[in-house]
Structure 1
Amino acid sequence: MTESPGDGGAPSDRIAFRILGPLQLTGANGTVRIPPGRQEIILAALLLEVNRVVSTDYLVDLIWNDEPPDTARTQVQICVSRLRKLFSTAGVDAAITTRPPGYVVKADSATVDAAVFGRQLADARQLVKQDRPAEAVDLLRAAGSLWLGSCLSGLASDTLRSKALQLDEERLTALETRIQLELDLGRHHQLVGEIGRLVHDHPLRERLRGQLMLALHRSGRQAEALDVYRVGRELLAEELGLDPGEELRRLESAILAGDPSLRAATDRPRAGGPAPAAPQPAAPPVVPGPVAREEIPRQLPADTADFVGDEEQIAGIGRALTGDGTRRAVGVTVIVGKPGTGKSTLATHVAHRLSENGFPDGQLYCDLRGTGTPATSSEVLGRFLRALGIPGPVIPELLDERAEMYRTLMASRRVLVVLDDAASESQVLPLLPGSSACAVLVTSRLRLTALPGAHRVELDVLSTPRALELLARVIGTGRVTGESVAAEALVRTVGGLPLALRIVAARLAARPHWTLASMVQRLSSERHRLDELTHGEMTIRASLSLTHDGLAPQDRALLRLLSLAQGPTLPGWLAGALLDDHRSFPSDLLEPLVDVQMLDVVGMDRGGQFRYRFHEIIRVFAREQLAANDTPAMRAAASQRMLGGWLSLAEQAHRRIYGGDFTVLHGAAPRWNPPAGCVEELLTDPLEWLDGEQANLVQAVEHAAGEQLHELSWDLATTLVTLFEVRGAHDQWEHTHQLALSACRTAGNTRGTAALLSSLGSLYLSRSQHEESRDALGTALELFTGIGDPHGLALCRRDLALLARTDGDDATALELYAGSLRDFDLAGDVVGRAIVLTQSAHIRMRNGQHDVAQTQLDEALGIYRSVGYTGGLARTLRRVGQVQLQRGEHERAVRTLTEVLDLCRETGDVMGEGHLLRDLGQALSGMGRDDQARRFFDSSLSVREQIMDQGGAAMVRLDLARLLERTGEHIRSRELLESAARTFRDRRMSRELREAQGLLDIAV
């Protein structure tokens, strides 16, 4: 038996990577969640080129386009490291390996749906060549079943989307090929419905349209086949200004002529035999209806002369409403959007465009008053029946009877029904005609997801180019181009909201002597912005008030209180804190606001929970309502709960990273604890959570300090050092601490002041600002001594010891470390003890006391392992590697240091990565592997420069200079030494300066 090319195909349950639809990853225990954003984009890019190298530069361009940050390559490296960890923990049988100039996903092609799809297409082509069409059809159908939607749907990358479109095109070509094969096999009866759906989805693909015509013709439905051609001809003329292609025109002519060559091979008469009679289409049924006057209702409001919209979006709505001749139900389109986005304007414009050709029997319109007192379905049906010519006395009283009469009248007509501002599905359902020749266009602030078969259009704010176009149409192109900067500022100020922009444009049009810059100035005050956004009967406040007033009391209160939060996006638990509601799923409180478009869902966080955001105009409105409806005491209580929630989560994140409340001081500010289940989801990776919420957490410190919540502000600021230190975020570290310090000093908060000064001392030490560090730590030590706080004293003495080490005073450093150990023991801080042991071991190591150093490091390692603190483990293992180096155990040191480097990269510890790259360079240099050592030094220098660690960068230059001097590159070596010496001098790094100067003195 000959083996089929399709034999041995991978079953779908082997597929681990799916890109033929939304990006999906399946591991040993089922579907694996891929963190949205950069990791999604990188994984998608690698899978599109599975088993082929993708360059780092390409990945950088994918994520940041033309403006990558200095740390872009490092961030890509971190993302890849996290994907590797994800593969490992999820049991995915694949690997991401580094291969210059980038990375490659190594995976069995049978586990990647796109690769399986490509192989099945190739096998199908072979079967066709072997004249085995039925088997080819089966294989092509299996290939089609791999698709779960458009390739990489939902991924926010234009570049990847263009690549995905190539695969989408291959899918359609494969579909067309399979359909042609099935038509050749005489399966036209079974194919009509499938091809009809495909033509509906892809109305401009002429091959599909021709296949539908052929299937209908062979099924004895010639009239429908010709109607499909007519619809396609009109669509091509309207959309593209083109006539159908020659092949489609020939097919129409052949159908009209009854050309026998169109029959399927299986239906053609045998030689000498009669041709089978073609089945005749059944006559359409006649639908009786009540006697009525012939009325053609034209109820649409006036179109907007200066309308600006998305032509592609408008065309899509038109296609959904007019259908393609194969639709069996009424076409329904729902336009949804927040207040002021122009839903009614768009609906009216589209309805006018379609009215004459698409719906010649009339257009019905009704404002359903969804944001006020909603109109009843019975009331609306009464209006429509009268408009259709039914006398008032004949109209039934009952809703069901009115709906039946309405559907009967509409059955013989082509009418467009426009339902503006719908309140609910139950209000709309009785207003739907029964005929597929009619269509319904609905606008609503709700998504109306229960309307069957509805096509939904999410209307957003205008893009800047469209907004400027609208402005120019109202006030004139000259004024817009003459003040282009001010025009763009106007658009930004109103957030691209169409209603707000029309109001601004109308005011400017009525006042030609006003400049656009003056309008920007008038809108700059948030307090008076809504007062400015009014003109005649157009007012943003009125539009938003309609929705606000229709909300339940609790939802109105939450909308107002949410305006207290000023971060870029809002987490779901915040709703529970603001309302003091401890339900398990606090994000449920936000859903009513999302439903009415007063709040947007903008994505998911790393824990899989939704993120929310206000449109700026709605935030301004909510703050106005907050001031009018909530007392200062109510606002203050809500703020304290919200900020207490941020503090609680940051505190718990620190505990999970360090294994407890170690190396940090806490105050007495009240916490608000989110539900336990919510916390577990959020803090699965506590450092990632801190990183993702950095903007909100910094803003929370600013908020607390501004409200003089001094105890809360210092506690949160010092807790965030957990993040700032690992990520090298020195500017945020100083910014938050200075704000909190000002609040604490104003309030006379001694402990808070001491805690902040102690933390700032650590920061200044990291920056090699030794005098500033010594002053801050000295003051903090005095304050902690005065209040008898051993934990604070331990932290100060630890950092003062490090300062003494930097100055070369090892004796003083060891004395301070001894005092710090006693204080940490009094405070019960075992991690603090381990940190001091690790730091003092470095002094012992430098002085040749290797056994003492190793004993201290072993104790520290034991502590870190017992509490599960990975960061401390990495730092102590680094010291172990350095001890091994000093003992001449170079190979062993390289293995230890490489292990620590991987740990740093997995946790995103950029500072640690810079240290480890330097250590490995030193180890390899000591082994005489100069080329490798130089690469590590270069990488370390790059990392240090990216995070602006000038002192650390200078120390790497010192190492590199020694290496280059040995390899004969004397000029470059001297340049590096001079650069390092300047930095050491500026930063008062005396020990390092003496070393650099000594090397310069003996340099060639």
Structure 2
Amino acid sequence: MAFRVLGPIEVRGAAGPVRVPVGRQQTVLGILLLELGRVVSTDQIVDILWEHSPPETVRTQVQICVSRLRTLLKPTGAVIETRSPGYVLNAAPETVDAHVFRSRVREATALSQQDRGEEAAALLRSAVGLWRGPVFGGVGAEALRARATHLDEERMAAVESYLAIELELGRHQRLIGEINGLVEEHPLREGLRAQLMLALYRSGRQVEALEVYRRGRDLLIEELGLEPGSELRELERAILAGDPSLEHAPAQGPAHAAGGGPATAFGGGVTPFQLPSDTVDFVGRDGTIDRVEGVLAEPGNGARVVVLMGRPGVGKSSTAVRVAHRLGPERYPDGQLYCDLRATRGTPLDPGEVLGRFLRALGVPGPAVPDDVDERAAMYRGLLATRRVLIVLDDAATESQLLPLIPAGPGCGVLITSRANLTGLPGATFLPLETLTEDASLALLRQVLGDARVDAEPEAAHALVGAVGRLPLALRIVSARLAARRHWSLSSMVDRLADERYRLDELAHGDMTVRASLSLTYDGLEAGTARAFGLLGLVEGPTIPMWSAAALLGDDRPFPSDIVEPLVDAHLLDIVGTDPSGDPVYRFHELVRDYARERSADVEDDASRGAAIDRLMGGWLALLDAANDDLMGGEYLRVRGGAPRWSPPARYVERVLRDPYAWFEGERANLRHVVLQAVELGMDEQSWDLLVGFSVFLTRRGYMQELAELHDRVEPFVRERGNRLGMASLWATVSEALSHRYDGPTRAALLERSLEAYTELGEVRGQAIARRALATLTAEAGDEKRALGLCEEALEGFVAVGDLGGQWRSLMLTGYLRGRGGDVDGGRAELDRALELAGRTGDPRASAQVLRRSAQLDLLRGDVGQGIGRLREVLAVVEELGDLVGQAMVLRDLGTACAQAGRIDEARGLLERAMAAFDQLYEERERAEVASVLADLG
């Protein structure tokens, strides 16, 4: 085995032992090995390593620790993967002694159930023999020690199991010495003491058996102030009475595998059936039900535990009850226990109260139910030790509420539902429950309303399912309302749900309300988390970036995800993936977001909501500034507005800048929504500032239709508000990118107005931007002298503000114009200077644009070979950047050059590609020009 934790941690690779340093690395390795193949969240690791006051760099330290472990584990073949929200260790279970132990115990249980006792006992002994000392010996982490204690308890359970089997095989005499030693080692363990008493009694040593009882009783009273449990007391009475049932008899079936000792005094003939009624119109969940049944059917040395987790109204309880009804009679013939633990009602049931209910249901008379919770739990485990009972624990709150309710018997199953992430429950299988599929949602409508009514309005049925986000509770409510009002059409209900302000009002029928279901969870949130929930409802985009919560709350912590993770735990917020920087991305279910907005409107005043939105917009603006500065090499060719910026965590910004294009692409939908939200909220300064910043990426990637749609929303609004700086910037920046929408005179008029506004506002950079754009238009119109003058004025302005981007663009145009006008040396010098400045920005697209102008000059001067060579170099750059606009123009230039060189077939292929690119860009004029050249080629 490569990994041994049943004692001091040992790791062995192909070449021999691998030393894992004592401390954090052994601790992290230990928890990953125990949860082999399952994700261990970073938060769990942090809680284990730092119980109190973790340092600010805690996540970085965890990453470093995991990175070192990855290196150390290479010789073993095991791999640690990063998987949201933490890490998972992938290794074969047979390479880890703890998993081998559990596998042997499961196999032994199966053998015992087949009446193969000798093999089962031998396998259990071999499993126990894997121990080399206390689990995780030498590891000091208290939380990990709790896991170790659980494993040590499993070992003792296995010991008691093989002793029970061997006692039933008649080996009582040879076992006395071994059991006696174990009792000395574990004097308070009543199960071992009962086995020693039974072995002595069957060996004809009745007095000694009673003395073992008396010593145990004295010890329990002295140490704990408690009388022995019911098992020991009943055994003592049976020994005193010489009960024949204590004599050895051949094993009569699998029940003997669970333990020795006499039958319990209570509950022998009671079979409880406490399940609520099954839902008649239950639909879907086939995969989940199969998975639950499969887990509960797996053999094990203890009860199998499944936890169904999910948001309010997703159908956890109805799914659990459906599974329980399907499995109950056949797989759990000894009964089904059920309890609503009331986690979301503000008063979760105490486990002692639940145990009392269950004990009475199992036949224990009220006066015989112990007062002490631990005694109740011991009696409960004893009653279920040899039974096959299913326990359904609905709406659980915490692990501590659940642990006393988990039986030890291998024949039992436990099915838990919770809105919380109960990932600290040892040995459980966790299954998240999502909303229904489209088909299952429609099937639910058909179940309630009938096929004819749904078939009569198929489009409305699909719209209705979409309007409630396929949430089962909401579907049941709208179905019930429509069933109660036969004269209502499905379309009318869709119309009622269309306005999100009143949607939750419509989702109520009798005792069923989505709002009430959500409020049960919301009311249990800590105050800060509840405020974050409400403010996050203000986010309009399809997803919620990690930093948004910090911006809305004005929180400057380095890891803003800590603010919203409690909402994820409560299933009020979903994690839908990670962004390019590796941070989690969140999303609301539509109905949950509606509720969040209600809470925000009720709790926050207008001033605090406005300040939160200002910070959110400021965060987007700051990220746009950073991403564009990285793309263009600095704050070039853009006028920034006066809207305040809010700085997301520096580490997040740094990771965004590793690949700004990937960040832009990942946040494209959110940026589109935030621009439109600024318009809807009357934030004119933010709206144009956001659009100008976003336009850089949209232009480079050829999303011209998207840019046009946003421009058509922002420009009239900013003009109506009289925002002159905003209008000037839109005319000079965005309108230039949308040149295909305007003829030359219109574009020139817009730029003249932009220049006038910038001049009146004293905006030097803006004046330079407008003059350079006017120079391009003037040159296209044939007035090269004026174009040169405008470019020289623009260059002066760009130099004055230190704008390298504007400088190389101005020099690029003047160099090309001078060369075309006959001053080849002067033009080449300016183009060379432009190329040097473009290189200093670090923007490969800038250098490519200068090279393209140089190539055009080559072609004009008749140097076709050099021009084609430069254009091929430029094409490679813009293709690598995914710059569709650049590709379209360079393909056109290159095709024309190849035609000039007589390479007709190559020219035709390049020009056809250029036409396709201009098609994507909606550049009809450019496409027509290319089509004309193609036609001339024949």
TM-score by length of 2: 0.72
TM-superposition CA deviations, 1:121-144 (whole Å, max 9, x none) = xxxxxxxxxxxxxxxxxxxxxxxx
Question: Is the Cα contact below 8 Å between 2:692 and 2:733 reproduced in 1?
Answer: yes
Deviation (angstroms), 1:287: 4.1
In the alignment, what sits opposite 1:901? 875
In the alignment, what sits opposite 1:571? 545
Equivalence map 1:86-105=2 (5 Å): none
Equivalence map 1:90-169=2 (5 Å): none
Deviation (angstroms), 1:289: 5.3
Find the aligned partners of 1:380 and 1:534 in 2 and give their Cα distance.
32
Equivalence map 1:871-890=2 (5 Å): 871-890=845-864
Matched letter for residue 418 of structure 2: S
Matched letter for residue 340 of structure 1: G
In the alignment, what sits opposite 1:517? 491
Deviation (angstroms), 1:591: 0.3
2:342 to 364, 369, 372: 369
Deviation (angstroms), 1:221: 7.0
Find the aligned partners of 1:393 and 1:613 in 2 and give their Cα distance.
52
Question: Is the Cα contact below 8 Å between 2:728 and 2:753 reproduced in 1?
Answer: yes
Find the aligned partners of 1:759 and 1:302 in 2 and give their Cα distance.
66
SS of aligned partner of 1:603: strand
Question: Is the Cα contact below 8 Å between 1:794 and 1:820 reproduced in 2?
Answer: yes
Are 1:731 and 2:705 an aligned pair?
A: yes
Question: Is the Cα contact below 8 Å between 2:732 and 2:751 reproduced in 1?
Answer: yes
Are 1:345 and 2:295 an aligned pair?
A: no
- How many residues align structurally? 723
SS of aligned partner of 2:395: strand
Are 1:303 and 2:267 an aligned pair?
A: no
Equivalence map 1:555-566=2 (5 Å): 555-566=529-540
Deviation (angstroms), 1:313: 2.2
In the alignment, what sits opposite 1:676? 650
Find the aligned partners of 1:915 and 1:648 in 2 and give their Cα distance.
32
SS of aligned partner of 1:422: coil
Deviation (angstroms), 1:288: 3.9
Find the aligned partners of 1:560 and 1:613 in 2 and give their Cα distance.
14
SS of aligned partner of 2:502: helix
Equivalence map 1:373-392=2 (5 Å): 373-392=347-366
TM-superposition CA deviations, 1:412-446 (whole Å, max 9, x none) = 11000001011112211111110110000000112
Question: Is the Cα contact below 8 Å between 1:760 and 1:773 reproduced in 2?
Answer: no
SS of aligned partner of 1:693: helix
Q: 1:374 to 1:413 in 2, by over 3 A?
A: same
TM-score by length of 1: 0.68
Find the aligned partners of 2:848 and 2:922 in 1 and give their Cα distance.
22
Matched letter for residue 789 of structure 1: E
TM-superposition CA deviations, 1:764-798 (whole Å, max 9, x none) = 42545323312211221222232332222111111
Question: Is the Cα contact below 8 Å between 2:442 and 2:461 reproduced in 1?
Answer: yes
Matched letter for residue 959 of structure 1: V
Equivalence map 1:351-430=2 (5 Å): 351-371=324-344, 372-430=346-404
Deviation (angstroms), 1:931: 2.4
Question: Is the Cα contact below 8 Å between 2:285 and 2:319 reproduced in 1?
Answer: no
Matched letter for residue 296 of structure 1: T
Equivalence map 1:438-477=2 (5 Å): 438-477=412-451
Question: Is the Cα contact below 8 Å between 1:764 and 1:773 reproduced in 2?
Answer: no
In the alignment, what sits opposite 2:787? 813
In the alignment, what sits opposite 1:330? 303
Q: 1:644 to 1:856 in 2, by over 3 A?
A: same
Matched letter for residue 329 of structure 1: G
SS of aligned partner of 1:527: coil
Question: Is the Cα contact below 8 Å between 2:105 and 2:301 reproduced in 1?
Answer: no
Find the aligned partners of 2:816 and 2:740 in 1 and give their Cα distance.
17
In the alignment, what sits opposite 2:187? none
Question: Is the Cα contact below 8 Å between 1:760 and 1:776 reproduced in 2?
Answer: no
Question: Is the Cα contact below 8 Å between 2:812 and 2:830 reproduced in 1?
Answer: yes
2:582 to 600, 604, 608: 608
TM-superposition CA deviations, 1:479-529 (whole Å, max 9, x none) = 111111111111111110000000111111112222111211222222221
SS of aligned partner of 1:785: helix
Deviation (angstroms), 1:846: 3.3
Find the aligned partners of 1:196 and 1:494 in 2 and give their Cα distance.
47
In the alignment, what sits opposite 1:954? 928
Q: 1:706 to 1:12 in 2, by over 3 A?
A: farther
Q: 1:146 to 1:941 in 2, by over 3 A?
A: farther
Equivalence map 1:261-340=2 (5 Å): 284=257, 285-288=259-262, 290-293=264-267, 294-323=269-298, 326-340=299-313
In the alignment, what sits opposite 2:42? none
Matched letter for residue 300 of structure 1: L
1:431 to 405, 422, 426: 405
RMSD: 3.3
Q: 1:721 to 1:437 in 2, by over 3 A?
A: same
Equivalence map 1:446-845=2 (5 Å): 446-767=420-741, 769-845=743-819
Matched letter for residue 483 of structure 2: A
Matched letter for residue 321 of structure 2: T
Deviation (angstroms), 1:347: 0.4
SS of aligned partner of 1:443: strand
Q: 1:420 to 1:193 in 2, by over 3 A?
A: closer
Matched letter for residue 569 of structure 1: T
Q: Which blocks of at least 5 consecutive residues in structure 1 are unaligned?
A: 1-10, 14-144, 155-170, 180-189, 201-208, 225-279, 970-1004
TM-superposition CA deviations, 1:906-942 (whole Å, max 9, x none) = 2221111112222332343344333223222222222
Question: Is the Cα contact below 8 Å between 1:655 and 1:661 reproduced in 2?
Answer: yes
Q: 1:222 to 1:385 in 2, by over 3 A?
A: closer
Find the aligned partners of 2:107 and 2:716 in 1 and give their Cα distance.
66
Matched letter for residue 575 of structure 1: A
Are 1:940 and 2:938 an aligned pair?
A: no
Find the aligned partners of 2:107 and 2:337 in 1 and give their Cα distance.
30
In the alignment, what sits opposite 1:66? none
Find the aligned partners of 2:121 and 2:633 in 1 and give their Cα distance.
76
Deviation (angstroms), 1:837: 1.2
Matched letter for residue 363 of structure 1: Q
Q: Which blocks of at least 5 consecutive residues in structure 2 are unaligned?
A: 1-12, 16-75, 85-90, 124-251
